[in-house]
Amino acid sequence: MRKPNKIKIIPLGGLGEVGKNITVFEYKEDIILIDCGMTFPEDEMLGIDVVIPDVTYLLKNRDKIRGIVLTHGHEDHIGALPYVLAKLNLPIYGTKLTLGLVENKLKEHKLESVKLNIVKHGDTIKLGNLDIEFIKTGHSIPDSAALAIHSPVGTIVHTGDFKIDYTPIDGDVIDLNRFAELGNKGVLALLADSTNAERPGYTMSERTVGNTFRDIFARHKHRIIVATFASNVHRIQQIINASEQNNRKVVLSGRSMTNTISVALELGYLHIQEGTLIDINDMNKYSSNEITIITTGSQGEPMSALSRIAAGEHKKIEIQPEDLVIISATPIPGNEKTVSKVINNLVESGTKVIFEALADVHVSGHACQEELKLIHTLVKPKYFIPVHGEYRHLKKHAEIAESLGLSRENIFILENGRVIEFTKDSAELNGFVPAGNILVDGLGVGDVGNIVLRDRKHLSEDGLIVIVVTISKKEGVVLAGPDIISRGFVYVRESEDLMEEARNVVKAVLDDCEQKNITDWATLKSSIRDTLRNHLYGKIKRNPMILPIIMEV
């Protein structure tokens, strides 16, 4: 009897977390990837710049991969591309703006041989045995797409990040009709965005923010500084519209803001009157009521433009008490403290700050419960996998699907690396593939792991003591030292007695080893480390990292 055809779905990121979205679809000898995102490090990932997905499975199966298909241009969906493409030169497929942002990113990383293929909404591309159809959706960045993966096993719909906005800024409404057509033909499985699954009701239209901006800009008679995501082109368009209506010039601050706006302008996704955008160096030629500054830093990132403005460290922008600062974003989970710190710094300088809790200056780009219910009702999938979100978001989305009549046995809450196989009539979990975090620190990709992070944590909490001893190669006797250098442990000038005691403890260990004719370096080092650690812990209940250095002459 012939085995039934199977299609595998393997999420390598984006499940049980916010960000780092990447999903493998595998049918026989063909693999396609949907998205390739990064995320920002958690607090305990000391010194790490970004986190990207583990692509070990892809490296092992590189000959099967037909391409990377992108749903939209946010960092959590395209941010890992430069790191993955450095190992796997694959063709990329996406809409015009998405690929414009990708091209910019690849130039920065000097990856200019990658083939970028622009796809329009409504088009279908063929990659091996899989046909991928691009469906128009709405999100907080233009040119977002859902994907219908048509395979010999059946059609699988992946929503990407989406919301249902009936009055979008660009007038290009989500193609609900196509979702309904696919549902009527029969959809094997649905993978849908779960970010806002806990929020009841509907996500407000982006236009509500535009109305708020118009009111604020008409009333405020001094400089306005607006912090938002550089990628939120629709939001930036509305800030520019409100500025132009009130005869304000617009200044950009932040590298990602300048880059994104330049790409969006070039590709026709932003419309700005001639003379509205001015150079930051020309700002002082205008009075304060003629200036709007659009800046990055809505998440309180320490090195961002807004954080530097708030701390008085920006080279070109000095905060004035009569300024109005609008933070047009919601803190991503984990960023609440840094955003709060920036707001406090601004308020301390006498400036008024408006953020989401005070006015409608932000709306989400993700679907709330009623919008999710609409998509489920139109698509009518046989199986459902909630994606994009922490476990609680995935669980809530699963409950919504069940409340709409989908059998619990047909809903799968997966974790990164979990393999699920579909035939026309069945779905079955089948093992795991590697799917962890690869940490990027500077130019080092993956060279910082758990042991290094543990050492950094240890150093950050308890400090370091370096002990330098010079020993005679012939006689094995101590010629110089022990010298003790301390960093981040105690303030040496006020702890001279403690350091002298430590020196005597090490001296006693060396004398003891000398009497016992112990010259093996490993034994000497471990004896110094253990004895000094016990002494210091007994004295002040601290446990610094102890690094003995032995030199032979």
In a domain, 488, yes or no: yes
| Number of Cβ within a 10 Å radius of residue 374 | 16
Is 232 known to sit in a ligand binding site?
A: yes
**Across 71-76, average pLDDT:** 92
Least confidently predicted of 67-71, 164-168, 356-360 = 356-360
Task: Please indicate whether residue 193 is annotated as part of the active site.
Answer: yes
Least confidently predicted of 183-192, 405-414, 451-460, 498-507 = 451-460
- 174 in the same domain as 73: yes
If 0-12 CB within 10 Å is exposed, 13-18 middle and 19+ buried, where does residue 226 land?
buried
Rounded distance between C-alpha atoms, residue 288 and residue 248, angstroms:
9
In this prediction, what percent of the chain has a pLDDT beyond 90? 54
Which of 150, 158, 220, 366 is flagged as catalytic?
Answer: 366
- 184 in the same domain as 42: yes
In a domain, 444, yes or no: no
Is 362 known to sit in a ligand binding site?
A: yes
Task: With a cut of 70, say whether residue 2 has pLDDT above it.
Answer: no
Estimate to the nearest angstrom the gap between the alpha carbon of 527 and the chain centroid: 44
- Residue with the bigger pLDDT between 506 and 70: it is 70
- 143 in the same domain as 36: yes
Final residue in a domain of this structure, among 308, 338, 358:
358
In a domain, 2, yes or no: no
- 191 in the same domain as 118: yes
- Average pLDDT, rounded, for the chain: 86
| Strand 30-34 relative to strand 478-487, pairing | unpaired
- 11 in the same domain as 85: yes
Final residue in a domain of this structure, among 439, 466, 486:
439
CATH number where 524 lies:
3.10.20.580
Total number of residues shown for the chain: 553
Is 76 known to sit in a ligand binding site?
A: yes
Which residues of 35-136 form beta strands (DSSP E)?
Answer: 50-53, 65-69, 92-94, 116-118, 124-127, 130-136
Q: Which of 542, 10, 43 is nearest to 334 (CA)?
A: 43
Tokens 């977390």 correspond to what residue?
A: 17
Is 450 known to sit in a ligand binding site?
A: no
In a domain, 445, yes or no: no
For position 452, what pLDDT does the model report?
57
Q: Which of 500, 457, 479, 485 is nearest to 546 (CA)?
A: 485
- 225 in the same domain as 142: no
- 485 in the same domain as 405: no
Bridge partners, residue 406, by sequence: none
Q: How confident is the model at residue 455 (pLDDT cuts 50, 70, 90)?
A: low
Task: Please indicate whether residue 366 is annotated as part of the active site.
Answer: yes
pLDDT in tens, 289-346: 999 999 988 887 777 888 888 888 888 888 889 999 999 988 876 678 888 889 899 9
- 174 in the same domain as 212: no
Is 458 known to sit in a ligand binding site?
A: no
Is 170 known to sit in a ligand binding site?
A: no
In a domain, 63, yes or no: yes
Q: How confident is the model at residue 462 (pLDDT cuts 50, 70, 90)?
A: low
CA angle 60, 65, 66 (to 5 degrees): 170
- Residue with the bigger pLDDT between 140 and 44: it is 140
Which of 54, 175, 193, 323 is flagged as catalytic?
Answer: 193
| Strand 545-552 relative to strand 464-471, pairing | parallel
* Helix (H) and strand (E) counts in the chain: 15, 25
Q: What are the residues whose beta carbons fall under 8 Å from the beta carbon of 325, sequence distance 6 or more?
A: 224, 225, 226, 227, 306, 319, 346, 351, 352, 353, 354
pLDDT in tens, 135-175: 999 998 999 999 999 999 999 999 999 999 999 988 889 99
Rounded distance between C-alpha atoms, residue 474 and residue 396, angstroms:
72
Task: With a cut of 90, say whether residue 476 has pLDDT above it.
Answer: no
Final residue in a domain of this structure, among 332, 358, 384:
358
Task: With a cut of 70, say whether residue 456 has pLDDT above it.
Answer: no
Tell me which residue range forms the domain holding 381.
7-201+364-439
- 19 in the same domain as 144: yes
CATH number where 223 lies:
3.40.50.10710
Which stretches of 255-332 are DSSP H helices?
Answer: 255-266, 305-310
**Across 97-125, average pLDDT:** 92
Is 43 known to sit in a ligand binding site?
A: no
Is 397 known to sit in a ligand binding site?
A: no
- 211 in the same domain as 83: no
- 165 in the same domain as 58: yes
CATH number where 400 lies:
3.60.15.10
Q: Which of 143, 73, 65 is nearest to 102 (CA)?
A: 73
The count of structural domains within the chain is 3
- 320 in the same domain as 237: yes
**C-alpha torsion sign, points 299, 366, 420, 405:** positive
